[in-house]
Amino acid sequence: MDIDLAALPDDVKMLHRLVRSLAAERTAALVAAQAEIERLRLIVQKLQRSQFGRRSERLDDDQLQFGFEDLEADLATVETRLRPSREKSSPSASRNDQLRFPAALEREDRRINVEHDACPCCGGALHMIGETVTEMLDHVPARLRVIRIRRPRYGCRACGTIHQASAPERPIAKGLATPALLAHVLVSKYCDHLPLYRQSQIFARHGVELNRSTLANWVGGAVWWLEPLHARLAEHVFASQVLFADDTPIPVLDPGRGRTKTGRLWVYARDDRPWCGTDPPAVVYLYSPDRRAERPAAHLQRFTGTVHVDGYPGFDRLPAAGHIQLAACWAHARRKFYEVHQATGSPVAADALKRIGELYAIEASIRGQTAEARRSVRQSRALPLIAAMRDWLEVELNRLPPRGGVADAIRYALTRWTALCRFLDDGRIELDNNTVERAIRPITLGRKNHLFAGSDGGAQRWAIVASLLATAKLNDVEPFAYLRGVLECLSDGYPMRHLDDLLPWNWTPLKAAA
């Protein structure tokens, strides 16, 4: 009910009826809102069961996120209904929800002043004693523009010669795209997972017809500039003494058979931050058309150190050369027990999960400490737990049916026990392979959107761009600004002997401009 405060009735009884009416409306609104909130909470609980419940009941992660997004919007709608209209526009009402916007964002000031210069109460002159500043986040839609390059020609009347400045180098020979537009296409395709045909539709809405084949030509030409950086990035990753390795399938179109084949992206990552290492984190993806064990062996032929791996048998051949040792993943070992426990409620599996959880609690307490400090704590606290766990696993294995799920989980751990215990003697080694698992997630999202790579060459380009984008994000570098700057530098003739300056952890907009 809207009330004109300037025209309130003078009759007391009328005012009483008005107040009671307002109170009844408010109470009804609160009851309805509480019922709606309770309904939404039940939906949240169902979604949580879909995430953490039995595998057969789980939702795809993307579907789950869509559900939570809509629920949050529903809750915001209910809260808006409950909030008085004045409170909506009150600066103090939204102060607790105020986001911290980066200082580098462009600011536009809009001044809202009072409508009078004199005080309406007494007529005295007004003077400024301060101001209230609030910020709102705005969006300026992307815009396309045409850059016209003018090169005046000059003639000499004395000798008849003509003088003109040389045309600037273009990143794509005879191409119409600037480095900024190329970077936008690459980031949209490989970071935001927008296939080229969708980008073509978006450009058409802006009034520019760019067909998919044109965009594909641009992608191929732009990635050509990035190949040396990818090679240098791989050298940096394999120069580490501690690596994380895994692979993930990607469908690749096979025109000869009229369907797709399964290629592999091999992922290698290094991240020294958990033990205070000074080298920058990095990820490199390498494509191969198959999953033969010779692939990781060829990738790591010059590597010396420890490799975190999962249960893929192809990695088991790596130590044969004598310069590589494997560190197995406790997350994979835990997953075996977790699946059995979720399916059967096995107390043995529950006990195994508890023991592994104690190891992770120790790791959480020493994350960010030096390698030697981590090793010392592990020797004093984790080593006794590991020794007790192995004795317990061997005893339980003899008691269990040999073909049961718990027995399989125990055998999985015991056959990799040496590799699982590698972290005890080296503070640089992690408890699991989750570093590289996180690097695979963007590939999984891209795979869902792209459906497949169009060729082996397309898969290789995917690996090159994904390596640079993932490494840029690991080093807190904005991907679009990075690729734009790198393409500008390389097309302008940046000296290859200084190529390391363009790696993500060395790149800055200032260097790119120079």
Predicted local distance difference test score (pLDDT) of residue 375: 97
Predicted local distance difference test score (pLDDT) of residue 244: 97
Q: Are the C-beta atoms of residues 443 and 286 closer than 8 Å to each other?
A: no
* Percent residues over pLDDT 90 in the chain: 52
pLDDT tens, position by position, 470-503: 999 999 999 999 999 999 999 888 898 999 999 9
Positive or negative, the CA dihedral 341, 345, 348, 352 is positive
Residue 247 CB neighbours (<10 A):
22
Rounded CA Rg of the chain: 31
The set of residues, in sequence order, having a beta carbon less than 8 Å from that of 306 and lying 6+ positions away, is: 241, 242, 243, 324, 325, 326, 327, 422, 426, 428, 429
Distance separating alpha carbons of residues 149 and 146, to the nearest angstrom? 10
- Using CB atoms within 10 A of its CB, is residue 128 exposed (0-12), middle (13-18) or buried (19+)? exposed
Q: Lowest-confidence range among 365-379, 397-411, 446-460?
A: 446-460
Look at residue 306 and tell me whether its pLDDT is greater than 60.
Answer: yes
What is the bridge-based pairing of β-strands 282-288 and 259-270? antiparallel
Query: Quick check: helix, strand or coil at residue 281?
Result: coil
Look at residue 379 and tell me whether its pLDDT is greater than 50.
Answer: yes
Query: Quick check: helix, strand or coil at residue 325?
Result: strand
The set of residues, in sequence order, having a beta carbon less than 8 Å from that of 272 and lying 6+ positions away, is: 240, 242, 278, 279, 281, 428
DSSP 257: T
Q: Lowest-confidence range among 49-63, 234-248, 374-388, 431-445?
A: 49-63
Q: Where are the alpha helices (H) located in 400-455, listed in sequence order?
A: 405-415, 417-420, 434-450
Query: Quick check: helix, strand or coil at residue 471?
Result: helix
Q: Quick one: which H or E segment has residue 265?
A: strand 259-270
Predicted local distance difference test score (pLDDT) of residue 7: 66
Predicted local distance difference test score (pLDDT) of residue 124: 87
The mean of the pLDDT values for the chain is 85
Q: Lowest-confidence range among 117-126, 257-266, 460-469?
A: 257-266
Distance separating alpha carbons of residues 44 and 59, to the nearest angstrom? 13
**Length of the chain as a residue count:** 514
Residue 507 CB neighbours (<10 A):
22
Q: Which token pair is 305?
A: 């150190």
Query: Quick check: helix, strand or coil at residue 362?
Result: helix
The set of residues, in sequence order, having a beta carbon less than 8 Å from that of 288 and lying 6+ positions away, is: 263, 264, 266, 295
Q: Are the C-beta atoms of residues 322 and 422 closer than 8 Å to each other?
A: no
Distance separating alpha carbons of residues 15 and 240, to the nearest angstrom? 79
Query: Quick check: helix, strand or coil at residue 267?
Result: strand
pLDDT tens, position by position, 222-250: 999 999 999 999 999 999 999 999 999 98
pTM of the model: 0.78
pLDDT tens, position by position, 183-218: 999 999 999 988 888 999 999 998 899 888 889 889
Predicted local distance difference test score (pLDDT) of residue 514: 44
Look at residue 163 and tell me whether its pLDDT is greater than 70.
Answer: yes
